[in-house]
Amino acid sequence: MTKYLPRYHLDLDSNKYDQRSVDDSCGVEQLHHSMAALFYNGRFFQSGPRGKHPSFADAVLVDAAGKITHVGNLHDERIRAAEDAGVVKHDMQSRTVLPGFIDGHMHLLMLGQSLQKAGLESCKNLQDIRTTIKEFAVANPSLARIMAKGWMHSMTDGEALASMIDDLDPRPIFIDSKDLHSTWCNRAALDEMAVETLPDPEGGKIHRDKDGRASGLLSEAAAVTIVWPHIAKVAPMEEKLAALKGAVAAYNASGYTGLVEMAMDENAWEALQVLRQREKLPIRVAVHWLATPRKTEAENLAQVDRAIELNRHFNADTSPDCRIVGIKVIGDGIIDGCTAGLSEPYTSNGVSCEPIWSLAELGPVVKKADAAGLQCALHAIGDKTIRVAVDALEQNATPGRRHRIEHLELASPEDAARLGKLGITASIQPVHCDPAILRAWPSLLGPARCERAFAYREFADGGAVLALGSDAPTAPHAPLRNAYTATTRRSAREPESGDRVNPRFALELAEALAAATEGSAYSCFADRWAGKLEAGRFADMAVVDMEWDADKLLEARVVQTWFEGRKVFDA
Protein backbone atom coordinates (compact mmCIF):
# COMPACT_ATOMS: atom_id res chain seq x y z
CA MET A 1 0.00 0.00 0.00
CA THR A 2 1.23 3.46 -0.83
CA LYS A 3 1.95 5.45 2.33
CA TYR A 4 0.37 8.89 2.43
CA LEU A 5 1.57 11.80 4.45
CA PRO A 6 -0.55 12.59 7.53
CA ARG A 7 -3.53 14.85 7.06
CA TYR A 8 -4.35 17.78 9.28
CA HIS A 9 -7.36 17.98 11.55
CA LEU A 10 -9.28 21.23 11.66
CA ASP A 11 -10.36 22.44 15.07
CA LEU A 12 -13.26 24.68 14.09
CA ASP A 13 -13.24 26.50 17.42
CA SER A 14 -9.58 27.49 17.41
CA ASN A 15 -9.04 27.51 13.64
CA LYS A 16 -5.78 25.64 14.26
CA TYR A 17 -4.63 22.41 12.76
CA ASP A 18 -3.36 19.25 14.47
CA GLN A 19 -1.43 16.57 12.66
CA ARG A 20 -3.32 13.28 12.80
CA SER A 21 -2.65 10.05 11.01
CA VAL A 22 -5.52 9.08 8.78
CA ASP A 23 -6.29 5.57 7.62
CA ASP A 24 -6.72 6.30 3.95
CA SER A 25 -6.75 2.75 2.72
CA CYS A 26 -10.01 3.25 0.80
CA GLY A 27 -8.67 6.39 -0.84
CA VAL A 28 -5.42 4.68 -1.74
CA GLU A 29 -7.31 1.83 -3.32
CA GLN A 30 -9.37 4.28 -5.36
CA LEU A 31 -6.51 6.55 -6.36
CA HIS A 32 -3.92 4.02 -7.47
CA HIS A 33 -3.91 0.91 -9.59
CA SER A 34 -2.70 -2.23 -7.88
CA MET A 35 -0.22 -2.73 -10.69
CA ALA A 36 1.70 -0.80 -13.34
CA ALA A 37 -0.06 0.66 -16.38
CA LEU A 38 0.98 1.28 -19.97
CA PHE A 39 -0.46 4.20 -21.89
CA TYR A 40 0.07 3.68 -25.62
CA ASN A 41 -1.07 4.70 -29.11
CA GLY A 42 -0.91 8.37 -28.22
CA ARG A 43 1.14 11.44 -29.09
CA PHE A 44 2.74 12.18 -25.71
CA PHE A 45 4.01 15.75 -25.71
CA GLN A 46 7.72 16.19 -25.03
CA SER A 47 9.79 19.37 -25.13
CA GLY A 48 12.88 21.07 -23.91
CA PRO A 49 12.68 23.92 -21.40
CA ARG A 50 9.83 26.35 -22.07
CA GLY A 51 8.41 24.34 -24.95
CA LYS A 52 11.51 24.38 -27.14
CA HIS A 53 12.10 21.58 -29.66
CA PRO A 54 8.71 19.88 -29.21
CA SER A 55 8.32 16.22 -30.11
CA PHE A 56 6.03 13.32 -29.29
CA ALA A 57 6.65 9.94 -27.68
CA ASP A 58 4.53 6.86 -28.41
CA ALA A 59 4.02 5.40 -24.96
CA VAL A 60 4.29 6.06 -21.22
CA LEU A 61 4.81 3.47 -18.50
CA VAL A 62 3.40 4.24 -15.05
CA ASP A 63 4.00 2.40 -11.76
CA ALA A 64 1.47 1.42 -9.11
CA ALA A 65 2.05 4.70 -7.24
CA GLY A 66 0.99 6.71 -10.26
CA LYS A 67 4.48 7.87 -11.25
CA ILE A 68 5.96 7.72 -14.72
CA THR A 69 8.82 5.22 -14.97
CA HIS A 70 9.51 5.34 -18.70
CA VAL A 71 8.65 7.42 -21.77
CA GLY A 72 9.40 6.03 -25.22
CA ASN A 73 7.91 3.63 -27.76
CA LEU A 74 6.45 0.15 -27.73
CA HIS A 75 9.71 -1.41 -28.90
CA ASP A 76 11.65 -0.24 -25.84
CA GLU A 77 12.92 -3.07 -23.68
CA ARG A 78 11.25 -1.78 -20.50
CA ILE A 79 7.88 -1.56 -22.17
CA ARG A 80 8.19 -5.02 -23.73
CA ALA A 81 9.09 -6.42 -20.33
CA ALA A 82 6.09 -4.72 -18.74
CA GLU A 83 3.79 -6.17 -21.42
CA ASP A 84 5.22 -9.64 -20.83
CA ALA A 85 4.44 -9.18 -17.12
CA GLY A 86 0.79 -8.43 -17.88
CA VAL A 87 0.75 -4.66 -17.45
CA VAL A 88 -2.64 -2.92 -17.60
CA LYS A 89 -2.92 -1.18 -20.97
CA HIS A 90 -4.75 2.03 -21.88
CA ASP A 91 -5.23 2.88 -25.56
CA MET A 92 -5.06 6.65 -26.18
CA GLN A 93 -6.57 6.18 -29.66
CA SER A 94 -3.97 8.33 -31.45
CA ARG A 95 -4.88 11.42 -29.45
CA THR A 96 -2.50 14.08 -28.20
CA VAL A 97 -1.57 13.58 -24.55
CA LEU A 98 -0.36 16.68 -22.71
CA PRO A 99 0.86 17.02 -19.14
CA GLY A 100 -2.08 17.81 -16.88
CA PHE A 101 -2.72 21.54 -17.01
CA ILE A 102 -1.87 23.62 -13.94
CA ASP A 103 -3.74 26.90 -13.68
CA GLY A 104 -1.08 29.40 -12.68
CA HIS A 105 -3.51 31.93 -11.20
CA MET A 106 -7.10 31.32 -10.10
CA HIS A 107 -9.54 31.62 -7.17
CA LEU A 108 -10.92 28.22 -6.17
CA LEU A 109 -13.85 28.93 -3.86
CA MET A 110 -14.89 31.95 -5.89
CA LEU A 111 -14.89 29.83 -9.03
CA GLY A 112 -17.12 27.25 -7.41
CA GLN A 113 -19.48 29.93 -6.16
CA SER A 114 -19.49 31.63 -9.57
CA LEU A 115 -20.84 28.47 -11.16
CA GLN A 116 -24.00 29.14 -9.17
CA LYS A 117 -24.34 32.82 -10.18
CA ALA A 118 -26.17 34.61 -12.96
CA GLY A 119 -23.76 35.21 -15.81
CA LEU A 120 -23.69 38.68 -17.36
CA GLU A 121 -20.84 38.05 -19.79
CA SER A 122 -23.01 38.33 -22.90
CA CYS A 123 -24.81 41.48 -21.75
CA LYS A 124 -24.26 44.62 -23.81
CA ASN A 125 -26.00 47.25 -21.70
CA LEU A 126 -27.98 47.96 -18.54
CA GLN A 127 -31.21 46.60 -19.97
CA ASP A 128 -29.57 43.27 -20.77
CA ILE A 129 -28.20 43.12 -17.22
CA ARG A 130 -31.60 43.90 -15.69
CA THR A 131 -33.31 41.25 -17.82
CA THR A 132 -30.74 38.58 -16.97
CA ILE A 133 -30.88 39.25 -13.22
CA LYS A 134 -34.67 39.39 -13.20
CA GLU A 135 -34.96 36.06 -15.02
CA PHE A 136 -32.41 34.49 -12.66
CA ALA A 137 -34.27 35.79 -9.61
CA VAL A 138 -37.60 34.42 -10.84
CA ALA A 139 -36.00 31.05 -11.60
CA ASN A 140 -34.42 30.83 -8.13
CA PRO A 141 -37.07 31.86 -5.59
CA SER A 142 -35.46 29.95 -2.71
CA LEU A 143 -32.11 31.75 -2.81
CA ALA A 144 -31.45 34.12 0.09
CA ARG A 145 -29.41 36.40 -2.17
CA ILE A 146 -29.14 37.08 -5.88
CA MET A 147 -25.53 36.74 -7.05
CA ALA A 148 -24.28 37.72 -10.49
CA LYS A 149 -20.92 37.78 -12.25
CA GLY A 150 -19.25 39.06 -15.39
CA TRP A 151 -20.31 42.72 -15.31
CA MET A 152 -17.95 45.17 -17.01
CA HIS A 153 -17.93 48.91 -16.33
CA SER A 154 -18.33 49.61 -20.05
CA MET A 155 -21.70 47.83 -20.10
CA THR A 156 -23.20 50.58 -17.93
CA ASP A 157 -21.11 53.54 -19.09
CA GLY A 158 -19.03 53.39 -15.91
CA GLU A 159 -22.05 53.74 -13.61
CA ALA A 160 -23.01 51.26 -10.88
CA LEU A 161 -25.80 52.61 -8.68
CA ALA A 162 -28.08 50.71 -6.34
CA SER A 163 -31.01 52.63 -7.79
CA MET A 164 -30.38 51.02 -11.19
CA ILE A 165 -31.26 47.55 -9.84
CA ASP A 166 -33.28 48.15 -6.65
CA ASP A 167 -36.62 47.38 -8.31
CA LEU A 168 -35.55 43.97 -9.63
CA ASP A 169 -35.94 41.98 -6.43
CA PRO A 170 -36.27 42.71 -2.68
CA ARG A 171 -33.44 40.31 -1.85
CA PRO A 172 -29.82 41.52 -1.60
CA ILE A 173 -28.18 41.62 -5.04
CA PHE A 174 -24.39 41.33 -5.39
CA ILE A 175 -22.88 41.77 -8.86
CA ASP A 176 -19.21 40.91 -9.29
CA SER A 177 -17.27 42.81 -11.90
CA LYS A 178 -15.55 40.55 -14.41
CA ASP A 179 -12.16 41.26 -12.82
CA LEU A 180 -13.45 40.84 -9.22
CA HIS A 181 -12.08 44.27 -8.33
CA SER A 182 -15.54 45.74 -7.75
CA THR A 183 -18.95 44.67 -6.49
CA TRP A 184 -22.14 46.44 -7.51
CA CYS A 185 -24.90 46.13 -4.89
CA ASN A 186 -28.52 47.04 -4.51
CA ARG A 187 -29.74 48.86 -1.39
CA ALA A 188 -30.69 45.60 0.35
CA ALA A 189 -27.12 44.32 -0.05
CA LEU A 190 -25.62 47.59 1.18
CA ASP A 191 -27.87 47.50 4.23
CA GLU A 192 -27.07 43.85 4.93
CA MET A 193 -23.36 44.70 5.06
CA ALA A 194 -24.03 47.87 7.09
CA VAL A 195 -21.59 49.85 4.98
CA GLU A 196 -23.09 53.28 5.75
CA THR A 197 -21.05 53.65 8.94
CA LEU A 198 -17.88 52.03 7.63
CA PRO A 199 -14.87 54.10 6.57
CA ASP A 200 -13.14 53.43 3.29
CA PRO A 201 -10.57 50.65 3.84
CA GLU A 202 -6.93 51.21 2.96
CA GLY A 203 -6.63 50.85 -0.82
CA GLY A 204 -10.38 50.71 -1.42
CA LYS A 205 -13.49 52.82 -1.80
CA ILE A 206 -17.14 52.68 -0.78
CA HIS A 207 -18.66 54.94 -3.45
CA ARG A 208 -21.09 57.51 -2.06
CA ASP A 209 -23.54 60.07 -3.38
CA LYS A 210 -23.38 63.81 -2.75
CA ASP A 211 -25.05 63.33 0.64
CA GLY A 212 -22.45 60.78 1.74
CA ARG A 213 -24.71 57.77 1.44
CA ALA A 214 -23.32 54.54 -0.07
CA SER A 215 -24.45 54.59 -3.69
CA GLY A 216 -23.95 50.98 -4.74
CA LEU A 217 -20.34 50.29 -5.75
CA LEU A 218 -17.52 48.94 -3.59
CA SER A 219 -14.18 48.86 -5.37
CA GLU A 220 -10.70 47.42 -4.86
CA ALA A 221 -9.96 46.74 -1.16
CA ALA A 222 -13.57 47.55 -0.27
CA ALA A 223 -14.68 44.56 -2.35
CA VAL A 224 -11.90 42.35 -1.00
CA THR A 225 -12.16 43.23 2.70
CA ILE A 226 -15.88 43.99 3.04
CA VAL A 227 -17.88 42.13 0.39
CA TRP A 228 -15.85 38.94 0.11
CA PRO A 229 -15.76 38.23 3.87
CA HIS A 230 -19.45 39.05 4.18
CA ILE A 231 -20.46 36.64 1.43
CA ALA A 232 -18.20 34.00 2.97
CA LYS A 233 -19.69 34.52 6.41
CA VAL A 234 -23.31 34.20 5.37
CA ALA A 235 -22.71 31.16 3.13
CA PRO A 236 -23.31 27.84 4.98
CA MET A 237 -20.34 25.47 5.17
CA GLU A 238 -22.09 22.79 3.10
CA GLU A 239 -22.71 25.36 0.38
CA LYS A 240 -19.03 26.26 0.32
CA LEU A 241 -18.01 22.60 0.23
CA ALA A 242 -20.35 22.01 -2.71
CA ALA A 243 -18.84 25.02 -4.47
CA LEU A 244 -15.30 23.70 -3.96
CA LYS A 245 -16.25 20.25 -5.23
CA GLY A 246 -17.94 21.79 -8.25
CA ALA A 247 -14.85 23.83 -9.02
CA VAL A 248 -12.56 20.80 -8.82
CA ALA A 249 -14.89 18.78 -11.05
CA ALA A 250 -15.01 21.59 -13.60
CA TYR A 251 -11.22 21.78 -13.57
CA ASN A 252 -10.75 18.04 -14.03
CA ALA A 253 -13.18 18.22 -16.96
CA SER A 254 -10.97 20.88 -18.55
CA GLY A 255 -7.79 18.84 -18.21
CA TYR A 256 -6.43 20.41 -15.02
CA THR A 257 -4.58 18.38 -12.40
CA GLY A 258 -3.17 21.33 -10.46
CA LEU A 259 -3.81 24.96 -9.66
CA VAL A 260 -2.34 27.99 -7.91
CA GLU A 261 -4.92 29.62 -5.63
CA MET A 262 -4.09 33.31 -5.68
CA ALA A 263 -6.05 35.03 -2.87
CA MET A 264 -6.59 32.63 0.01
CA ASP A 265 -8.19 33.82 3.24
CA GLU A 266 -9.30 32.21 6.50
CA ASN A 267 -12.80 31.44 5.28
CA ALA A 268 -11.83 29.65 2.08
CA TRP A 269 -8.94 27.90 3.82
CA GLU A 270 -11.24 26.51 6.51
CA ALA A 271 -13.66 25.15 3.90
CA LEU A 272 -10.85 23.62 1.85
CA GLN A 273 -9.47 21.78 4.88
CA VAL A 274 -12.90 20.45 5.85
CA LEU A 275 -13.32 19.11 2.31
CA ARG A 276 -9.85 17.53 2.38
CA GLN A 277 -10.76 15.75 5.60
CA ARG A 278 -13.71 14.18 3.85
CA GLU A 279 -12.00 13.10 0.65
CA LYS A 280 -8.75 13.18 -1.25
CA LEU A 281 -9.06 15.71 -4.05
CA PRO A 282 -7.99 14.74 -7.58
CA ILE A 283 -6.05 17.97 -7.97
CA ARG A 284 -3.07 19.64 -6.26
CA VAL A 285 -3.39 23.08 -4.75
CA ALA A 286 -0.58 25.60 -4.19
CA VAL A 287 -1.78 28.57 -2.15
CA HIS A 288 -0.81 32.24 -1.90
CA TRP A 289 -2.17 33.90 1.23
CA LEU A 290 -3.78 37.29 0.60
CA ALA A 291 -2.20 40.27 2.36
CA THR A 292 -4.33 43.41 2.15
CA PRO A 293 -3.10 46.95 2.91
CA ARG A 294 -3.50 48.00 6.54
CA LYS A 295 -2.87 51.25 8.38
CA THR A 296 0.46 50.21 9.94
CA GLU A 297 3.48 48.21 8.94
CA ALA A 298 2.96 45.93 11.94
CA GLU A 299 -0.53 45.06 10.71
CA ASN A 300 0.80 44.38 7.23
CA LEU A 301 3.52 42.09 8.57
CA ALA A 302 1.09 40.24 10.82
CA GLN A 303 -0.58 38.88 7.69
CA VAL A 304 2.78 37.57 6.52
CA ASP A 305 3.22 35.92 9.92
CA ARG A 306 -0.03 34.02 9.39
CA ALA A 307 1.23 32.69 6.05
CA ILE A 308 4.53 31.71 7.67
CA GLU A 309 2.67 29.86 10.43
CA LEU A 310 0.55 27.90 7.96
CA ASN A 311 3.53 27.13 5.75
CA ARG A 312 5.23 25.37 8.66
CA HIS A 313 2.42 22.82 8.62
CA PHE A 314 1.38 22.83 4.97
CA ASN A 315 4.47 22.56 2.76
CA ALA A 316 5.99 20.28 0.14
CA ASP A 317 7.27 17.83 2.75
CA THR A 318 4.18 17.56 4.96
CA SER A 319 1.28 18.28 2.59
CA PRO A 320 2.38 18.24 -1.07
CA ASP A 321 -1.18 18.15 -2.40
CA CYS A 322 -2.21 21.35 -0.56
CA ARG A 323 0.57 23.79 0.34
CA ILE A 324 0.95 27.37 1.47
CA VAL A 325 3.68 28.58 -0.88
CA GLY A 326 3.61 32.34 -0.42
CA ILE A 327 1.70 35.58 -0.14
CA LYS A 328 -0.36 37.60 -2.61
CA VAL A 329 -0.33 41.40 -2.65
CA ILE A 330 -2.71 43.39 -4.88
CA GLY A 331 -0.72 46.38 -6.10
CA ASP A 332 -3.36 48.15 -8.18
CA GLY A 333 -6.72 47.86 -9.88
CA ILE A 334 -7.61 47.49 -13.54
CA ILE A 335 -7.40 49.54 -16.73
CA ASP A 336 -11.15 49.44 -17.40
CA GLY A 337 -11.95 50.91 -13.99
CA CYS A 338 -9.17 53.52 -14.29
CA THR A 339 -7.66 52.06 -11.10
CA ALA A 340 -4.47 50.52 -12.51
CA GLY A 341 -1.39 52.55 -11.56
CA LEU A 342 -0.06 54.36 -14.62
CA SER A 343 2.97 56.60 -15.05
CA GLU A 344 0.84 59.04 -17.08
CA PRO A 345 -2.84 59.98 -16.55
CA TYR A 346 -5.63 58.13 -18.30
CA THR A 347 -6.29 59.61 -21.72
CA SER A 348 -10.08 59.51 -21.40
CA ASN A 349 -10.52 61.46 -18.17
CA GLY A 350 -7.13 62.70 -17.02
CA VAL A 351 -7.26 60.59 -13.86
CA SER A 352 -3.92 59.81 -12.23
CA CYS A 353 -4.00 56.61 -10.19
CA GLU A 354 -1.21 55.63 -7.83
CA PRO A 355 -0.33 52.05 -6.89
CA ILE A 356 -2.15 50.77 -3.80
CA TRP A 357 1.18 49.94 -2.13
CA SER A 358 4.10 52.33 -2.32
CA LEU A 359 7.59 50.89 -2.61
CA ALA A 360 8.23 51.88 1.02
CA GLU A 361 5.14 49.98 2.17
CA LEU A 362 5.68 46.94 -0.03
CA GLY A 363 9.38 46.48 0.69
CA PRO A 364 9.10 45.25 4.31
CA VAL A 365 6.33 42.81 3.37
CA VAL A 366 8.41 41.31 0.57
CA LYS A 367 11.51 41.18 2.76
CA LYS A 368 9.76 39.33 5.60
CA ALA A 369 8.09 36.80 3.32
CA ASP A 370 11.31 36.20 1.40
CA ALA A 371 13.33 35.69 4.61
CA ALA A 372 10.85 32.99 5.65
CA GLY A 373 11.22 31.18 2.33
CA LEU A 374 7.83 32.22 1.01
CA GLN A 375 7.16 33.28 -2.56
CA CYS A 376 5.75 36.73 -3.25
CA ALA A 377 3.05 37.09 -5.90
CA LEU A 378 2.57 40.76 -6.70
CA HIS A 379 -0.49 41.83 -8.69
CA ALA A 380 0.62 44.62 -11.02
CA ILE A 381 -1.30 45.71 -14.13
CA GLY A 382 -0.32 49.32 -14.87
CA ASP A 383 3.23 50.29 -15.85
CA LYS A 384 3.81 52.33 -12.69
CA THR A 385 2.72 49.49 -10.43
CA ILE A 386 4.80 47.01 -12.42
CA ARG A 387 7.84 49.22 -11.84
CA VAL A 388 7.12 49.28 -8.07
CA ALA A 389 6.72 45.48 -8.01
CA VAL A 390 9.97 44.82 -9.88
CA ASP A 391 11.83 47.34 -7.70
CA ALA A 392 10.44 45.74 -4.52
CA LEU A 393 11.64 42.31 -5.57
CA GLU A 394 15.01 43.56 -6.78
CA GLN A 395 15.69 45.43 -3.54
CA ASN A 396 14.23 43.02 -0.97
CA ALA A 397 14.14 39.47 -2.33
CA THR A 398 16.56 36.59 -2.68
CA PRO A 399 17.36 35.29 -6.18
CA GLY A 400 16.06 31.78 -6.75
CA ARG A 401 12.90 32.10 -4.65
CA ARG A 402 10.80 32.17 -7.82
CA HIS A 403 8.90 35.30 -6.88
CA ARG A 404 6.34 36.34 -9.43
CA ILE A 405 4.37 39.25 -10.81
CA GLU A 406 0.74 38.71 -11.75
CA HIS A 407 -0.94 40.06 -14.91
CA LEU A 408 1.76 42.42 -16.30
CA GLU A 409 -0.73 43.95 -18.71
CA LEU A 410 1.05 47.20 -19.53
CA ALA A 411 4.77 46.75 -18.91
CA SER A 412 7.39 49.17 -20.19
CA PRO A 413 10.14 47.69 -22.39
CA GLU A 414 12.65 48.28 -19.58
CA ASP A 415 10.65 46.38 -16.97
CA ALA A 416 9.78 43.61 -19.41
CA ALA A 417 13.51 43.01 -19.81
CA ARG A 418 14.15 43.08 -16.05
CA LEU A 419 11.89 40.10 -15.32
CA GLY A 420 14.23 37.48 -16.73
CA LYS A 421 17.35 39.14 -15.39
CA LEU A 422 15.94 39.07 -11.87
CA GLY A 423 14.47 35.57 -12.09
CA ILE A 424 10.90 36.85 -11.73
CA THR A 425 8.18 34.58 -13.08
CA ALA A 426 5.79 36.29 -15.50
CA SER A 427 2.36 35.07 -14.40
CA ILE A 428 0.12 35.80 -17.38
CA GLN A 429 -3.55 35.28 -18.25
CA PRO A 430 -4.03 35.47 -22.02
CA VAL A 431 -7.83 35.39 -21.59
CA HIS A 432 -7.49 39.00 -20.45
CA CYS A 433 -6.02 40.06 -23.78
CA ASP A 434 -9.02 38.85 -25.75
CA PRO A 435 -9.83 41.66 -28.23
CA ALA A 436 -13.54 41.39 -27.40
CA ILE A 437 -13.02 42.80 -23.89
CA LEU A 438 -10.46 45.48 -24.74
CA ARG A 439 -12.54 47.79 -26.91
CA ALA A 440 -12.46 50.57 -24.31
CA TRP A 441 -8.66 50.54 -24.04
CA PRO A 442 -7.85 52.87 -26.96
CA SER A 443 -9.98 55.65 -25.46
CA LEU A 444 -8.71 54.96 -21.93
CA LEU A 445 -5.02 54.77 -22.81
CA GLY A 446 -4.50 56.18 -26.28
CA PRO A 447 -3.04 54.17 -29.18
CA ALA A 448 0.62 54.49 -28.16
CA ARG A 449 0.17 52.83 -24.78
CA CYS A 450 -2.08 50.16 -26.25
CA GLU A 451 0.92 49.08 -28.31
CA ARG A 452 2.52 47.91 -25.05
CA ALA A 453 -0.37 45.69 -23.95
CA PHE A 454 0.34 42.09 -22.93
CA ALA A 455 3.97 41.91 -24.08
CA TYR A 456 4.38 38.16 -23.55
CA ARG A 457 6.92 37.73 -26.33
CA GLU A 458 9.22 40.27 -24.69
CA PHE A 459 8.94 38.55 -21.30
CA ALA A 460 9.93 35.21 -22.80
CA ASP A 461 12.70 36.59 -24.98
CA GLY A 462 14.10 38.35 -21.92
CA GLY A 463 14.46 35.01 -20.15
CA ALA A 464 11.46 35.09 -17.84
CA VAL A 465 9.63 31.84 -17.13
CA LEU A 466 6.00 32.17 -18.19
CA ALA A 467 3.27 30.67 -15.99
CA LEU A 468 -0.03 30.64 -17.82
CA GLY A 469 -3.26 30.94 -15.83
CA SER A 470 -6.88 31.94 -16.24
CA ASP A 471 -7.69 34.17 -13.25
CA ALA A 472 -10.96 32.23 -13.01
CA PRO A 473 -13.65 33.15 -12.25
CA THR A 474 -12.80 36.59 -13.67
CA ALA A 475 -12.40 34.87 -17.03
CA PRO A 476 -13.16 31.46 -18.61
CA HIS A 477 -10.86 28.75 -17.27
CA ALA A 478 -10.61 26.43 -20.30
CA PRO A 479 -6.84 26.11 -20.94
CA LEU A 480 -6.97 25.43 -24.67
CA ARG A 481 -9.03 28.55 -25.34
CA ASN A 482 -6.54 30.45 -23.19
CA ALA A 483 -3.70 29.08 -25.31
CA TYR A 484 -5.60 30.09 -28.46
CA THR A 485 -5.53 33.76 -27.49
CA ALA A 486 -1.90 33.49 -26.32
CA THR A 487 -0.80 32.11 -29.69
CA THR A 488 -3.07 33.90 -32.17
CA ARG A 489 -3.90 37.05 -30.15
CA ARG A 490 -7.43 36.60 -31.49
CA SER A 491 -10.70 36.43 -29.59
CA ALA A 492 -11.92 33.13 -28.18
CA ARG A 493 -15.14 34.92 -27.19
CA GLU A 494 -15.85 36.16 -30.71
CA PRO A 495 -14.01 33.73 -33.02
CA GLU A 496 -15.53 35.28 -36.13
CA SER A 497 -13.74 38.55 -35.40
CA GLY A 498 -10.49 39.24 -37.19
CA ASP A 499 -9.21 41.61 -34.49
CA ARG A 500 -5.82 40.84 -32.97
CA VAL A 501 -4.06 42.45 -30.01
CA ASN A 502 -0.40 43.20 -30.69
CA PRO A 503 0.32 40.02 -32.68
CA ARG A 504 4.07 40.61 -32.42
CA PHE A 505 3.80 39.51 -28.77
CA ALA A 506 2.24 36.11 -29.62
CA LEU A 507 3.65 32.85 -28.28
CA GLU A 508 4.31 29.66 -30.22
CA LEU A 509 1.90 26.76 -29.64
CA ALA A 510 4.38 24.52 -27.80
CA GLU A 511 5.58 27.52 -25.81
CA ALA A 512 2.06 28.37 -24.64
CA LEU A 513 1.24 24.78 -23.69
CA ALA A 514 4.52 24.51 -21.80
CA ALA A 515 3.67 27.72 -19.92
CA ALA A 516 0.32 26.17 -18.94
CA THR A 517 1.99 23.01 -17.61
CA GLU A 518 5.74 23.11 -17.00
CA GLY A 519 5.80 26.88 -16.43
CA SER A 520 3.01 26.85 -13.85
CA ALA A 521 4.62 23.87 -12.10
CA TYR A 522 7.93 25.72 -11.96
CA SER A 523 6.23 28.82 -10.62
CA CYS A 524 5.17 27.04 -7.42
CA PHE A 525 8.07 24.58 -7.06
CA ALA A 526 5.89 21.68 -8.22
CA ASP A 527 8.28 20.81 -11.05
CA ARG A 528 9.76 17.95 -9.03
CA TRP A 529 6.55 15.95 -9.44
CA ALA A 530 4.37 17.59 -12.13
CA GLY A 531 4.39 19.71 -15.29
CA LYS A 532 6.02 17.33 -17.78
CA LEU A 533 5.59 13.78 -18.98
CA GLU A 534 8.90 12.37 -17.87
CA ALA A 535 10.20 9.63 -15.60
CA GLY A 536 9.96 10.46 -11.92
CA ARG A 537 6.96 12.77 -12.19
CA PHE A 538 3.33 11.82 -11.62
CA ALA A 539 1.23 10.57 -14.51
CA ASP A 540 -0.96 13.66 -14.65
CA MET A 541 -2.28 13.83 -18.20
CA ALA A 542 -4.82 15.63 -20.36
CA VAL A 543 -5.89 13.57 -23.36
CA VAL A 544 -6.91 15.95 -26.12
CA ASP A 545 -8.61 15.46 -29.48
CA MET A 546 -6.82 18.18 -31.43
CA GLU A 547 -4.84 19.21 -34.47
CA TRP A 548 -1.38 20.58 -33.70
CA ASP A 549 -2.27 24.00 -35.05
CA ALA A 550 -2.79 27.17 -33.00
CA ASP A 551 -5.57 28.31 -35.32
CA LYS A 552 -7.51 25.10 -34.56
CA LEU A 553 -7.31 25.27 -30.76
CA LEU A 554 -10.94 26.36 -30.38
CA GLU A 555 -11.92 23.05 -31.97
CA ALA A 556 -9.74 21.01 -29.57
CA ARG A 557 -11.51 18.97 -26.91
CA VAL A 558 -10.31 17.41 -23.66
CA VAL A 559 -11.64 13.83 -23.67
CA GLN A 560 -9.88 12.39 -20.59
CA THR A 561 -7.98 13.62 -17.56
CA TRP A 562 -5.67 11.35 -15.54
CA PHE A 563 -4.37 12.19 -12.07
CA GLU A 564 -1.53 10.10 -10.68
CA GLY A 565 -2.33 7.41 -13.24
CA ARG A 566 -6.04 7.31 -12.39
CA LYS A 567 -8.76 8.51 -14.73
CA VAL A 568 -10.66 11.38 -13.06
CA PHE A 569 -12.59 12.63 -16.10
CA ASP A 570 -13.92 10.89 -19.19
CA ALA A 571 -16.01 12.77 -21.72
pLDDT band at 233 (very low <50, low <70, confident <90, very high): confident
Give 419's pLDDT tier (boundaries 50, 70, 90).
very high
Q: Quick check: 352 pLDDT over 60?
A: yes
DSSP secondary structure letters along 336-358 = TTT-S--SS--TTT------SS-
More confident of the two residues 17 and 228: 228
The confidence score (pLDDT) of residue 437 equals 93
Mean pLDDT of 251-268: 97
Q: Which whole number is the average pLDDT over 242-270?
A: 97
Q: What is the pLDDT of residue 34?
A: 54
Number of Cβ within a 10 Å radius of residue 29: 12
Task: Tell whether the model's pLDDT for residue 12 goes beyond 60.
Answer: no
- Distance of alpha carbon 126 from alpha carbon 155, whole angstroms: 6
Q: What is the pLDDT of residues 109-156, one digit of tens each?
A: 999 999 989 999 999 999 999 999 999 999 999 999 999 999 999 999
The answer on pLDDT for 557 being more than 80 is yes
pLDDT at 6 > cutoff 90: no
The pLDDT of residue 33 is: 45
For range 89-97, the mean pLDDT: 98
Whether pLDDT at 279 is above 80: yes
Is the pLDDT assigned to residue 19 strictly greater than 50? Answer: no
Q: Residues 3-28: what's their mean pLDDT?
A: 34
Spatial contact of 185 and 175, defined as CB atoms under 8 Å apart: yes
User: β-pairing, 37-46 with 55-62?
Assistant: antiparallel
Q: Which residues contact 293 (CB under 8 A, 6 or more apart)?
A: 201, 202, 203, 221, 300, 356, 357, 361
Which long-range contacts (C-beta less than 8 Å, at least 24 apart) are formed by 394-400? 394/418, 394/422, 395/359, 395/363, 396/363, 396/364, 396/366, 396/367, 396/370, 397/366, 397/367, 397/370, 398/370, 399/423
Cα-based angle 212, 217, 220 (whole degrees, multiple of 5): 110
Mean pLDDT of the 365-373 span? 98
Max distance between CA atoms of the chain, in angstroms, equals 82
Say what the pLDDT of residue 362 is: 98
- Is the model's pLDDT at 69 over the cut of 90? yes
Mean of the per-residue pLDDT values for the chain? 93
Whole-number percent of the chain with pLDDT over 70: 94
Q: Which of the four pLDDT bands, split at 50, 70 and 90, describes residue 35?
A: confident
